[in-house]
Amino acid sequence: MSKTADAFETRFRGHLDELKWLYMELYENETMFAELCSEMRRFYEARNKNLKKLDLEREAQPSWYKKNDMLGMMFYIDNFAGNMKGIRDKLDYLEKCNVNYIHLMPFLDTVDGRSDGGYAVADFRRVKEELGTMEDLEALTAACHEKKMNICMDFVMNHTSEDHEWAKKARKGDEEYQSRYFFFDDFTVPAIYENTVPQVFPTTAPGNFTWLPDTGKYVMTTFYPYQWDLNYRNPRVFNEMMYNFLFLANKGIDIFRIDAVPYIWKELYTSCRNLPQVHTIVRMMRMISEIVCPGILLLGEVVMEPEKVVPYFGTVEKPECHMLYNVTTMATTWHTVATRSTRLLKQQLDIVNRLPKEYVFLNYLRCHDDIGWGLDYASLMQEGLAERSHKQYLNDYFQGFAGMSNSRGELYNADPVTGDARFCGTTASMCGIEKALSEQDSQAVEKAVQLDVMLHAYMFMQSGIPVIYGGDEIGRLNDYTYKNNPNKAADSRYIHRGSMDWKAAAQIDDTSTVAGKIFSRLDRLEKIRRSEKVFMADADTWTLDTWDESTLCIGRYYEGDKLLGLFNFSEYDKMVWINETDGMYVDMISGRPMKASGVPIPAYGFYYLKKENEPGGDKVENL
């Protein structure tokens, strides 16, 4: 038996009992389980030698992704570089951005006008034609691996496009394929579901079912009518989706973002969210990956507050996702910008910091999606902030209508009945750079850039891995041209999904430009983070009282090194009343020695204060 075959057998035997027990608990189907095991072996044998070598390296260092050099960037392939070959040509730029984790937004085959930004997949084994081919994807991942970069993709498990082969056959009346979805002859059963299942898009896609007049049946469509929910009660669905997952892993994907993971199991008389069977499926997916391709990571898209997403990490003995998004902290960050109050943010950070260090969160300021104001309103009510009126204030603020705001952006899915709405805009435009540039106000530009950089510096200090939204490194502004495209005009999220400004990117070495100002300062922060072991993802992290609600202090400690991050969320100079009397500190930005007590901090300013080592103490090493 070869060494690699022996590795597979060892992994397989190590997981077999649990995997079979969970599979049989869901499906009670020995034949389908045997098929799954056979296909796992086939995909392992088809995995190329370079990927198998990477698997072995990562197995030997299971915490490889928790190091302080991990920095992500997410972008759309077409907007960033046209196609996959174009991305390969831009790898040097991404290296200059200090990025080693690239999240390629959805690139699998979809149908224009019915794609939901690429989340309605028509073929899981075909790249959208204008973006390239599977061969191009494989070449790109290989080129990234040569540069020690990781590729992340979205794996849409909850549904397929109505243009998927399965859906087309189901639509023609094939009962075997209809069983892969949720089809109903009348609205009796859908009505029972509707009594307990919330609506995702009540204004643009009301209800959870769609009538198909050509078929004479209803089909479950939680998101949009052209996205048909998959029926994971059918073992054929689970098996085939795992084969798609392994196929893509063998193309060199390192990180799978499991889209809408809480939705994938449906049960009558429930909300069809976060059901126990979801965790069974994710746990099986984790074991399948650890058998066939243990070098890959699972990233769960779970849009809930930190303490409620924790179950998706699984347990130390039976892990599920490797990483989860820190969604609530992101939204609370922008609440803090609008209110100049860090109270709720500090509370959120304290919750995350109390979680086990094995739990890794991805932190971000902006992404491809809208911002939903899913805040802790029970806590805000204690401050006199009612949910509906505060959501209204936040949306007014970031449109530039209230609170002395300089932000610019647009609402998404505004509901005039409930008053609810989400918000869209780039980081730079929300920080006021768009407004300042349009008014040719150089002082306002400096102030807005300072806010932008401070927010990134704060994000880098959080517990976990930071991810930058592509274009934020050069201060990309809102793009209003989406209104001219009939396939995009109704979806305001395209305001922050504009094309990369390569003209601005060419100015990153010119610090008289906005792109140069932001890029150079983020570059400095990123290199500090990479060189200081205190930024390891599993470092001790906590907050300190500052006695001023508009300022925040985050502490980090790792193997003898201590760092304090101080951040001013207000447009006024402040005094941070911390009292760390354990010696002198050095501001890592300016190199200036400072005491960590009674620290004056300018408007939208920040400090990275590192405690000086005592004579004879541990020396700082560049990792």
pLDDT of 177-234, one tens digit each? 999 999 999 999 999 999 999 998 887 889 999 999 999 999 999 999 999 999 999 9
Specify the pLDDT at position 614: 56
Is 102 inside any structural domain? Answer: no
Q: Is the pLDDT of residue 618 over 50?
A: no
| 188, part of any domain | yes
Mean pLDDT (whole number) for 94-103? 97
**Domain finish residue from 190, 206, 229:** 229
Q: Which of 188, 211, 229 is the last residue of a domain?
A: 229
CATH number for the domain harbouring residue 198: 3.90.400.10
Strands 561-568 and 540-544: what pairing?
Answer: unpaired
DSSP characters for 52-76?
HHHHHHHHHSTTGGGSTT--EEEE-
Residue 556 and residue 61: Cα distance in Å, rounded?
23
* Contact between residue 608 and residue 589 where contact means Cβ atoms under 8 Å apart: yes
The dihedral over CA atoms of 114, 119, 125, 129, expressed in degrees to the nearest 10, equals: 50
Residue pair 610/593 in contact by the 8 Å Cβ criterion: no
User: Average pLDDT, whole number, for the chain?
Assistant: 94
CA distance 342 to 554: 12
- pLDDT, tens only, 406-434: 999 999 988 887 888 999 999 999 999 99
Total count of domains within the chain = 2
Residue carrying the six token digits 């009126």? 389
Q: Is the pLDDT assigned to residue 61 strictly greater than 70?
A: yes
Of 181, 199, 229, the domain-final residue: 229
Q: At what angle do helices 442-461 and 514-531 cross, to 10 degrees?
A: 20
> Within a domain: residue 126?
no
Write the CATH number for 570: 2.60.40.1180
* Amino acid at position 23, single letter: Y
What whole-number distance in Å separates Cα of residue 497 and Cα of residue 479?
7
Residue 130: active-site member: no
553 assigned to some structural domain: yes
| Of the candidate ranges 112-116, 197-201, 543-547, the one whose mean pLDDT is the lowest | 112-116
Length of the chain: 623
Which residues make Cβ contacts (< 8 Å) with residue 141, sequence separation at least 6? 151, 251, 252, 253, 254
Grade residue 4 by pLDDT with cuts at 50, 70 and 90.
low
Q: Do 250 and 43 contact (CB within 8 A), yes or no?
A: yes
Annotated catalytic residue: which of 301, 472, 491, 526?
301
Residue 279 belongs to some domain of the structure: no
Is residue 209, in this structure, part of any structural domain at all? Answer: yes
Parent domain of 581: 536-611
- The answer as to whether 540 is a domain residue is yes
What predicted TM-score, i.e. pTM, was given to this entire model? 0.94
> How large a percentage of the chain has pLDDT more than 70?
97
Catalytic residue among 116, 259, 434, 532: 259
Tens digit of pLDDT for each residue in 480-517? Answer: 999 999 989 989 999 999 999 999 999 999 999 999 99
Distance, in Å, from the CA atom of 500 to the CA atom of 161, rounded to the nearest integer, reads 28
| 237, 231 Cβ separation under 8 angstroms | yes
Rounded Cα distance between 195 and 28, Å, is: 30
Dihedral in degrees, nearest 10, Cα atoms 59, 249, 239, 9: -30
213 in any annotated domain: yes
- Catalytic (active site) residue 540: no
